[in-house]
Amino acid sequence: MSLYQQIVGRGLRLAPGKTDCLILDYAGNPHDLYAPEVGTPKGKSDNVPVQVFCPACGFANTFWGKTTADGTLIEHFGRRCQGWFEDDDGHREQCDFRFRFKNCPQCNAENDIAARRCRECDTVLVDPDDMLKAALRLKDALVLRCSGMSLQHEHDEKGEWLKITYYDEDGADVSERFRLQTPAQRTAFEQLFIRPHTRTPGIPLRWITAADILAPASLIATPGFCRCPHERSVLASA
């Protein structure tokens, strides 16, 4: 299948005066040549190939994911855009947009979630499990293994805000609040909550008010752990 895709890809390359490409298949392939090849393990049996457009370059990626009965995308597991650029000299470079990533603590560069060193500054990236073990050893920090999460829309004299409460298996909980009045507050909410926890990274979650977040709450993934260094801070991680 991969060889077939390479052949077709070469035939479809653009060239001056080229208007069409005829593809003849004499191999008698027993499988559907039009079925997308994802290139990564399928995972759970209910996963299906889904198309996700890169917000940076517009490439139509094919990832494993989940959809509703009517085909609406509710989750995908893509990590990096599969699109490639080619300059006039034939040099090829992959699109650098990452749907899922971990930030370097030194330069804040986005790295693959399995990376051991930062691709920009070569800083050693601490494994999330090691970070969790270190947090568990802290005497003044609370670490919750999240089993659930709830979102609550409230407002006061300063405007509306969204309260997120995380619950562990023993019923303990911790919460954080995001005010959504100013552009800076809304940007912080997008970066600190929506982007790390969305089930469909790369696909904008359309919202205007805090109440709009509650309707598509199923598109928000519950983090695996919450680390609370002090009463007013919550650091949630997958």
Provide the residue ranges of all domains of the chain, joining segments of one domain with +: 2-80, 127-237
Instruction: Confirm if 110 and 103 have CB atoms less than 8 A apart.
Output: yes
Residue 84's nearest CA partner among 56, 111, 115, 117 is 56
> Cα–Cα distance between 205 and 36 in angstroms, integer?
26
Half-sphere exposure for 164 (CA within 13 Å, toward CB): 27
Instruction: Confirm if 172 and 144 have CB atoms less than 8 A apart.
Output: yes
> Cα–Cα distance between 50 and 66 in angstroms, integer?
8
Instruction: Confirm if 178 and 201 have CB atoms less than 8 A apart.
Output: no
> Cα–Cα distance between 191 and 113 in angstroms, integer?
17
Residue with tokens 């650091």: 235
Q: From first to last of its 238 residues, what are the pLDDT tens digits of the chain?
A: 556 667 777 888 888 898 888 887 777 666 565 666 677 777 777 899 999 999 999 998 999 999 988 888 999 999 999 998 888 888 889 999 999 998 898 999 999 988 989 999 999 987 777 777 776 777 766 777 888 889 998 888 888 889 999 988 888 888 888 998 899 999 999 988 898 889 999 988 888 888 888 876 678 888 887 766 544 444 444 5
Instruction: Specify the pTM.
Output: 0.68
Which tokens hold the place of 55? 């917000």
Instruction: Confirm if 10 and 4 have CB atoms less than 8 A apart.
Output: no
Residue with tokens 């990832």: 63
> Cα–Cα distance between 113 and 111 in angstroms, integer?
6
